[in-house]
Amino acid sequence: MPHHEERPAGALAHGSAKPDDIERARREVASAEEARRAPAPGVQRAVGEMEAACQTIRDDLDELKRVLDSGPAEP
């Protein structure tokens, strides 16, 4: 029995491709590409948490700069 790679392209299929088969394959490819581009579920949440943490650090740094710029506290 010849190996499948030695057979004609249509020999393994169950007849020629129908328009519905082609359209279904296109939809499946488009769906797979869309799923690949979408971020993992926890990524957006993690990015939001990191942005909030960075904003807090910037706010704290600005407050420290204001304290230092105001000069030494008088007794």
The alpha-helical segments, DSSP class H, found in 1-75 are 19-37, 41-69
Residues (pLDDT < 50) of the chain are: none
Written as six digits, the tokens of 2 are 């010849």
pLDDT of residue 19: 85
pLDDT of residue 15: 72
pLDDT of residue 1: 52
pTM of the model: 0.45
Cβ(16)–Cβ(10) below 8 Å? yes
Cβ(58)–Cβ(65) below 8 Å? no
pLDDT of residue 49: 95
Compute φ and ψ for 2, nearest 5 degrees: -70, 145
Q: Under DSSP, is residue 14 helix (H, G, I), strand (E, B) or coil? A: coil
pLDDT of residue 17: 76
Domain boundaries, the chain: 4-69
CA distance 24 to 18: 10
